[in-house]
């Protein structure tokens, strides 16, 4: 038996494109707007969510038969909060500057709608292996969008990528800046993320008309 | 064979092809279209979209010409000092001034139209519909509301953004929520703030010269042109009134965005638009009232002594309320932007509310945001967003009133209750 059956693969790959949590289900927008001004923060956020969601889904899936359904939200919150605190502490210990940039948003992973949504919709009804794949898949779908948005916002807004000045130095006027190019201050503001996400949704839907709801 | 019939034949021949919309756009630009509606009853009106747009452009042409002279006038005045015994013919309408207009203002117009229409054409070809006339007015408004030294590539980027994100994503002309010209202005302001505010952007070459001086050139004279609102935001009314008289402000011989300075020409253009019934007088009047009310409130605050002269808002708050109308972009915004029929309110009562808040909020932003002492474009964009809501409640209010009237109506002697029910069902 192969490690991943066809169904397993689709659990991971579907959320990357045609069932993407951000562009199709429009979940988890708040953090996508808030922390994508820099690519590095986007990547760290993506990794944190992958960790929390993969493990969280497994834990909830293992406990799914013993959680009383009346208090399941509380149990879910405790699981996700525990994982988030681990991530937060690790970041504070090994990447303090970055953890300051991300600020409250690591803590707010707890309230990320994608995570609660997958717990409710998938982990409570499926086995641990499938839940793990589903968690990883959805977190990857979330992370991919975050990284794309972060890429464009940092490149156009600050002229850098991961802090490295790819377009030249805006003060010394080197590289592209020598020709009169200027950083686009709008891209650093949160509304720019909304517009970039909107453009992604637009591109995705015009490539795949099946995604367009009829109304 | 005349050009007209050749074009008609070409149009028929290539109907339904990919580039047909682009061809048809040129065709209808030159001649009246040769097709009519095939079925249904229809009224033939002379005031189609193209004519509406052309009327607005006609109202804008005097402002464009004025602004070309003003670009030069501000430049030479900043360089040599304002002329004593200023006379319009001698100091304003000169070739030197006009030349600065040609090299600085005309390129803005060309880029705005060129890039904007290119985007419109591309979208028309992709979507396979006719090219819409909506950009004709926007393309003329955009160069008039940016500083004269705006780099052309920035304008081009902003135009692409404004047309695509401000208009095309909503479905093109007539479907947009926000005024595209103001979307372009807002994009420029937030994307490149150093090019859109301060005292170095309103006069040709001011920024370039200051950069050269910073770089160590000592044979260059620094020039700057602070706007009137800029002076007031720095609590420097004395310097402002020494430099500009009330008539300067009214006729527009002051620095500012390319075409926004002349309240007089906006008044003329506005009257023309009201006379030709293109723009709503309700919006214009109520916006003026709104601005005056807010100005009066601030004047009153100063009079009551609630804020002292050292307060950072003092300069703008103590500015006479009626003077707010003739400085900055308020007049231009009210006449040409707020009255946009697509993004404004549609109902008559709604227009009063919509206009009032534009004036009211514009002055409020002006006073409370000294970092950027002009808030007209933000006020209009904000009210654009609320216009459909205002309309909704006006219509609901009207429905409610009629229902009430219906309930109280004395119904015929027959079986009154069932008759009332029937009547109600019909009206609703």
Angle at B371 (CA atoms; ends B365, B375), nearest 5 degrees:
25
Residue A161 β-bridge partners:
A164
CA distance B267 to B273: 10
% of chain B surpassing 90 pLDDT:
27
> Across the interface, do A187 and B191 touch by the CB < 8 Å criterion?
yes
SS3 A173: coil
Candidates B154, B190, B192; nearest CB to A189: B190
If you count residue pairs, one on A and one on B, with CB atoms under 8 Å apart, how many are there? 23
Separation in Å, CA B131 to CA A161, B22, B137, B161, B342: 39, 7, 14, 18, 17
* pLDDT at position A191: 87
| A contacts of B154 (beta carbons < 8 Å) | 182
Angle at B83 (CA atoms; ends B81, B87), nearest 5 degrees:
155
Q: Is B165 touching A (CB cutoff 8 A)?
A: yes
pLDDT-based confidence at residue B352 (cuts at 50, 70, 90): very high
> Across the interface, do A186 and B191 touch by the CB < 8 Å criterion?
yes
Mean local confidence (pLDDT), B226-240: 76
Q: Where are the domains of chain B?
A: 49-394
Mean local confidence (pLDDT), B57-81: 87
Question: Residue B147, exposed/middle/buried by CB under 10 A (0-12, 13-18, 19+)?
Answer: buried
* pLDDT at position B202: 79
Q: For residue B326, is pLDDT > 70? A: yes
Q: Write out the two tokens for B318.
A: 């103590």
| B contacts of A180 (beta carbons < 8 Å) | 151, 153
Q: Where are the domains of chain A?
A: 24-201
Q: Write out the two tokens for B184.
A: 């372009």
Q: For residue B18, is pLDDT > 80? A: no
The 10s digit of each residue's pLDDT in B177-229 is 899 999 999 999 888 888 887 777 778 877 777 777 777 777 777 777 777 77
> Across the interface, do A185 and B191 touch by the CB < 8 Å criterion?
yes
Q: For residue B390, is pLDDT > 90? A: yes
pLDDT-based confidence at residue B381 (cuts at 50, 70, 90): very high
CA distance A215 to A105: 35
Q: Suggest the residue from B170, B184, B191, B371 to mutate for an interface test with chain A (most A CBs closer than 10 A).
A: B191
């Amino acid at each position: 038996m192969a490690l991943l059956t066809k169904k397993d693969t689709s659990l991971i790959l579907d959320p990357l494109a045609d069932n993407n949590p951000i562009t199709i289900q429009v979940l988890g927008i708040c953090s996508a707007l808030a922390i994508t001004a820099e690519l590095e923060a986007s990547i760290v956020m993506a990794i944190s969510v992958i960790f929390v969601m993969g493990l969280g889904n497994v834990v909830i899936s293992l406990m799914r038969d013993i959680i009383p359904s009346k208090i399941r939200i509380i149990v879910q919150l405790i699981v996700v909060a525990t994982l988030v605190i681990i991530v937060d502490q690790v970041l504070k210990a090994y990447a303090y500057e970055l953890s300051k940039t991300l600020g409250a948003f690591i803590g707010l992973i707890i309230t990320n709608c994608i995570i609660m949504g997958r717990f409710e919709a998938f982990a409570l009804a499926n086995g641990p292996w499938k839940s793990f794949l589903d968690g990883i898949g959805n977190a990857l779908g979330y992370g991919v969008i975050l990284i794309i948005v972060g890429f464009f916002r940092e490149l156009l807004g600050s002229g850098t990528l991961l802090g490295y000045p790819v377009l030249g130095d805006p003060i010394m006027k080197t590289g592209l800046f020598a020709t009169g190019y200027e950083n686009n201050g709008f891209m650093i503001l949160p509304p720019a993320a909304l517009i970039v996400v909107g453009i992604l949704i637009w591109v995705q839907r015009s490539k795949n008309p099946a995604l367009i709801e009829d109304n | 064979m005349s050009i007209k019939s050749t074009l008609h034949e070409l149009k028929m021949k290539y109907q339904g092809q990919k580039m047909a919309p682009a061809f048809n756009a040129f065709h209808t630009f030159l001649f009246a279209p040769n097709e009519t509606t095939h079925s249904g009853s229809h009224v033939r009106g002379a005031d189609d979209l193209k004519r509406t747009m052309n009327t607005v452009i006609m109202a804008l042409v005097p402002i464009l010409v004025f602004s070309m002279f003003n670009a030069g006038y501000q430049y030479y005045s900043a360089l040599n000092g304002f002329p004593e015994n200023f006379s319009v013919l001698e100091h304003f309408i000169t070739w030197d001034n006009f030349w600065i207009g040609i090299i600085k203002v005309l390129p803005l117009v060309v880029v705005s139209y060129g890039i904007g229409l290119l985007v419109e054409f591309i979208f028309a070809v992709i979507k396979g519909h006719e090219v819409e006339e909506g950009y004709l007015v926007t393309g003329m408004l955009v160069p008039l509301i940016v500083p004269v030294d705006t780099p052309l590539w920035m304008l081009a980027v902003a135009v692409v953004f404004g047309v695509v994100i401000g208009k095309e994503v909503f479905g093109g002309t007539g479907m947009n929520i926000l005024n595209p010209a103001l979307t372009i202005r807002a994009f420029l302001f937030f994307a490149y703030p150093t090019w859109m505010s301060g005292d170095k952007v309103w006069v040709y070459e001011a920024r370039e010269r200051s950069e050269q001086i910073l770089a160590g050139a000592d044979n260059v004279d620094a020039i700057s042109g602070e706007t009137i609102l800029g002076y007031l935001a720095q609590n420097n009314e004395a310097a402002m009134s020494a430099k500009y008289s009330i008539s300067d402000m009214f006729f527009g011989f002051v620095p500012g965005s390319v075409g926004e300075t002349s309240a007089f020409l906006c008044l003329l253009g506005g009257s023309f638009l009201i006379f030709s019934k293109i723009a709503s007088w309700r919006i214009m009047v109520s916006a003026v009232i709104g601005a005056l009310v807010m100005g009066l409130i601030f004047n009153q605050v100063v009079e009551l002594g609630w804020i002292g002269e050292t307060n950072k808002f003092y300069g703008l708050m103590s500015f006479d309320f009626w003077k707010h109308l003739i400085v900055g972009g308020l007049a231009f915004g009210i006449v040409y932007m707020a009255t946009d029929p697509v993004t404004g309110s549609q109902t008559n009562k709604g227009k009063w509310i919509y206009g009032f808040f534009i004036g009211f909020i514009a002055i409020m932003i002006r006073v409370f945001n000294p970092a950027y002492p002009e808030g007209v474009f933000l006020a209009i964009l904000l009210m654009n967003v609320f216009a459909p809501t205002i309309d909704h409640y006006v219509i609901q209010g009207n429905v409610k009133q009629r229902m009430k009237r219906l309930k109280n109506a004395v119904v015929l002697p027959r079986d009154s209750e069932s008759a009332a029910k029937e009547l109600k069902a019909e009206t609703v």
